[in-house]
């Protein structure tokens, strides 16, 4: 496995791309809202994914799951981790935070 990218950089890229699933206008509104209301920059939540999860829940409720699922899949892709693990974890009742931490652990080993 090639580790040319740090976990934090991969997460930042994945989160930036994942939020765009909402469309350019809505994603801009949501990211601005998260920054203003919760002081959260989504690309800088790799060390505290629970904060992003909570803020997204309050900001877009059901849309949170779509963004988080996309983020996890992109993260696994960017880290060259087995996407089957990500898909299996999406089916289980792991929290978003657990999935991010599992990706971090898998990447560091």
Q: Number of folded domains in the chain?
A: 1
What CATH number corresponds to the domain at position 74?
Answer: 1.10.1200
On whether residue 37 sits in a domain, the answer given is yes
- 20-79 per-position pLDDT tens digit: 999 999 999 999 999 999 999 999 999 999 999 999 999 999 899 999 999 999 999 999
On whether residue 2 sits in a domain, the answer given is no
DSSP state at residue 42: G
On whether residue 28 sits in a domain, the answer given is yes
Q: How many CB atoms lie within 10 A of CB 24?
A: 8
SS3 content of the chain, % helix, strand, coil (to 5): 75, 0, 25
pLDDT value at residue 88: 62
State which residues form the domain around 93. 7-108
On whether residue 12 sits in a domain, the answer given is yes
pLDDT value at residue 82: 82
pTM of the shown model: 0.87
């Amino acid at each position: 496995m090639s580790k040319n990218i740090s976990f934090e950089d991969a997460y930042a890229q994945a989160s930036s791309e994942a939020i765009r699933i909402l469309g350019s206008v809505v994603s801009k509104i949501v990211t601005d809202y998260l920054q203003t209301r919760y002081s959260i920059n989504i690309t800088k939540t790799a060390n505290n994914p629970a904060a992003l999860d909570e803020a997204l829940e309050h900001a877009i409720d059901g849309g949170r799951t779509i963004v988080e699922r996309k983020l996890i899949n992109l993260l696994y892709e960017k880290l060259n981790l087995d996407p089957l693990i990500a898909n299996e974890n999406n089916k289980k009742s792991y929290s978003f935070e657990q999935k991010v931490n599992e990706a971090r652990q898998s990447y560091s080993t």
